[in-house]
Chains A and B, each alone.
Chain A
């Protein structure tokens, strides 16, 4: 029944229009109307995105739900409104629309100051992020990619903590700095093809030197977003200062945009340069996994700890992408293990989306009550908030990569592939299972267990029905994908295989 529906457009524009309507409800007098309207629109959007999964043809690795219209032509350049998803982008879109519902619920009573603008910012951001995942025209991609910064900039700056101005300007300028180089790279390639069509860029022959420069331009854009060591420093600042909803979007979706960029642009457009520079990418990824893991260990601030843990986990994703050439053997042409590695990386993206969001929501629940994020201000929370502590421990275990939770699946697949590439890669990557467990569980121990630390903790009340709802939904997702990741792997397998076949071919003109 959905064949003739422009589903992707609906999923992009429904929340944006909804956000504008929410804005139109006006000031804080009509906060309730604004919240209800925001919830309705986020649920409609999520409902509209479900057919993307049910109608998806997993047997095909090519783009689906395509919408292709002429947008305009400026000078000698043609621009298209070209949307479509493959098995890699589709789960990420569902993650985005799902998270938006959670964020609206999580911010329900908590945000009292300019609630309409808060809800509208997240709805608009949700539409723009889906746009990034589904754009098949580079210019359209870039428009969504940059436009997304505006609501995030405002969310951190308006509803953030004491150092919000510093954090949000740093966030904006870092990301902007990376992106403009990508824009120049796009323009350079569009100059050759006459359009920004991503699928045309995939097949555009480029010399080694050109590829190197383009790869570096993309690297600047995407590594900031992922973020990779050493351009990660904006993330702890942004996370600490952002309101809970902002942290959730940052961790759950925005970081994935960078990783998605590597898959959609860097690897297929510049495969030879990717091969040449894979050592660099692997090194940076392993530094992120190991070194940032240790950095997380010494954090006093819970949000900062989770932020560093996010960087460390995203190191797995980039590791999974760039071990391709270490695994590949030109003799057997076997791509199975490579596909496993990238599959693992994508599963890790989705799973980290749920887990990090849940962790930030957990911190948010406590912050709403005591207004502190310092580990030292807590202790023995499990005594006063038993139900909540159960959730928190579950998510902490997932964050540490315990088998049975979704955190395990992705990391396991990537380590498996890394072992094939080089046992040392696997050894270093696997060390995260220990370091990750150390920093997460140590935090849990200090915050939740032991004696009740002070009167504030003594006075805590357990979670209410609303908080129970969003935490339990996330818990179900974490356990479901941990025990049965097959539906996720099925939809992406063919697309990833296609991608791997593409990137193993040289694009240097003969």
Chain B
């Protein structure tokens, strides 16, 4: 406590802090609801578990409504400079809620069939969302770290949710150990920067850094901060955990890890590198550039060799992270907006692809091998078409939204005269197109091993259809999201 009191610039009165509480209304509501869900779940049996599910979904819908209604018109820094409420944060939060809502809906029948339809999944999920919201709204190193750890701890536990699965326990262990190292790196970097600037607040750091750009300790700290961020995003060479965790976790958890936390990680990158250490952009631009190229190269090339669909999507994630980093690397508003658009649309596509795996799975059958997609067009033309949309969108083929995401990142890269970098990016996109095409080949050109249709709950079918149509509709009119992004960045 003394430490915290020491760094606070001026001890504000309690009254002022209380007056700022409404700014954190979504976080407060979520915290209360997560606790309520935790308690309510104690009194529910497996038969009535639907109550937990519905309560969690109602919470998320309420959050979407509240955040939309109180959408921040200007930036407000609150709670002694530890918290920021701005348009970018609110927009990212809304997409985090939407993604989590979709995750809960997609995974319901999957969890039921595997006897892990437990309250823990929802409680951990909601606390994870809280962690993400804190990361998104963080304005000081401490809050960023708090949010990150809250999210990470929830995810470690969720990966291990299937207690009897050896592969899941191994993933959880690996994830935890590597995640702890990365958190350590991040903290180490933060302490360096704190040492050089004497503050944990991003706004103070920002001005301090601008004043002493040549300070070697700052650059030293920056390296560790970038490592921490790269680990959370899954950029090469800090990507080792990602394929194992994606493959080892139950798909219901993979879809959670693979969607909303990417948005939060993007927010963390923006807060740390742009808001806090923006003056050092010459230094971090090079680091991001190298990692982006390596991510696109390794992600796309190694994905070709995969036979497991989840693992393939994990490597595809790594390559997409490369693109997201490219946009931020430009250090221009246009680039940030492009990356944000990329992150959000990537989340939509990843949701659909993992949702598809869960749609096809049933009791005792994971359906996570590439071969399980064989002949899907014979079994269900509609869902084969949905998967086709997700795959072509990820490959960056118009008229799907993935194309516009790539186009804007490329545009921002070309704007700062790095045409060679844009060329490298498109060349690796072609390499990537190959394994997406292979998925389509399996679905359309091969004959199925089984001829039964797809049996899935109607809400799951509906959501997947909506998801696919949204990816197509945004491909025809990407300005729907891009317009808002440009106005908040």
Contact = CB atoms under 8 A, between A and B. Distances in A.
Interface in B320-356: 334, 337-338
Given A74-B482, A154-B444, A177-B430, A183 B407 contact: yes
Q: How large is the interface on A (under 10, 10 to 19, 20 to 34, 35 or more residues)?
A: 35 or more
Contacts of A142: 398
Interface string A62-87: 00000000001111110000000000
Interface stretch (B206-214, B278-286, B360-368, B409-417): B409-417
Contacts of A440: none
Interface stretch (B59-67, B80-88, B165-173, B421-429): B421-429
B434 A169 contact: yes
B415 to A, nearest CB: 6
Contacts of A165: 441, 445
A72 B334 contact: no
A75 to B, nearest CB: 5
Nearest to B480: A72
Contacts of B430: 173, 176-177, 180
B419 A184 contact: yes
Nearest to B338: A75
B397 interface: yes
B415 A143 contact: no
B125 interface: no
B415 A191 contact: yes
A184 B398 CA distance: 15
Contacts of B381: 23, 27, 117
B437 A153 contact: yes
B237 to A, nearest CB: 26
B478 interface: yes
A149 B408 CA distance: 22
Contact of A74 (B398, B429, B444, B478): B478
Contact of B398 (A143, A154, A157): A143
Given A143-B398, A146-B397, A180-B429, A74 B415 contact: no
Nearest to A186: B407
Given A181-B426, A184-B422, A74 B479 contact: yes
Contacts of A164: 445
Contacts of B188: none
Interface in B431-448: 433-434, 437-438, 440-441, 444-445
A143 B399 CA distance: 6
Given A150-B392, A150-B397, A190 B444 contact: no
A149 B397 contact: yes
A75 B482 contact: yes
Given A157-B444, A183-B426, A187-B422, A77 B411 contact: yes
A136 to B, nearest CB: 17
Contacts of A176: 397, 430, 433
Contacts of A180: 426-427, 429-430
Interface in B198-226: none
B337 A172 contact: no
A157 B441 CA distance: 7
B398 A146 contact: yes
Contacts of B415: 191
A73 B478 CA distance: 9
A75 B423 contact: no
Given A75-B338, A147-B398, A147-B399, A187 B410 contact: yes
Interface residues of B, number: 40
B445 A158 contact: yes
Contacts of B429: 180
A73 B479 contact: yes
B477 interface: yes
A184 B423 contact: yes
A469 interface: no
A75 B410 contact: no
Nearest to B489: A75
B399 A75 contact: no
Interface string A126-149: 000000000000010011001101
Contact of B411 (A143, A147, A157, A187): A187
Nearest to A217: B423
A184 B410 contact: yes
B471 to A, nearest CB: 14
A176 B403 CA distance: 13
A173 B398 contact: no
B145 interface: no
A367 interface: no
Contacts of B398: 142-143, 146-147
A188 B414 contact: yes
Interface string B388-399: 100010000111
Interface string A296-321: 00000000000000000000000000
B486 interface: yes
A17 B423 CA distance: 36
B121 interface: no
A191 B388 CA distance: 32
A184 B414 contact: yes
A332 B289 CA distance: 54
Contacts of B410: 183-184, 187
Contacts of B334: 75-76
Interface string A154-192: 100110000011001100110011001101100110110
26 contacts: A72-B477, A73-B479, A74-B404, A74-B479, A75-B337, A75-B482, A76-B334, A117-B381, A142-B398, A146-B397, A147-B397, A150-B388, A150-B397, A154-B444, A158-B444, A164-B445, A165-B445, A168-B441, A169-B437, A172-B433, A176-B433, A180-B430, A181-B426, A183-B407, A184-B419, A187-B422
Closest 3 A-B residue pairs measured CB to CB?
Answer: A72-B479, A180-B426, A143-B398
Given A177-B430, A188-B419, 8 more contacts: A72-B477, A73-B479, A74-B478, A76-B334, A146-B403, A158-B445, A187-B422, A190-B411
Interface of B: 334, 337-338, 377, 381, 388, 392, 397-399, 403-404, 407-408, 410-412, 414-415, 419, 422-423, 426-427, 429-430, 433-434, 437-438, 440-441, 444-445, 477-479, 482-483, 486
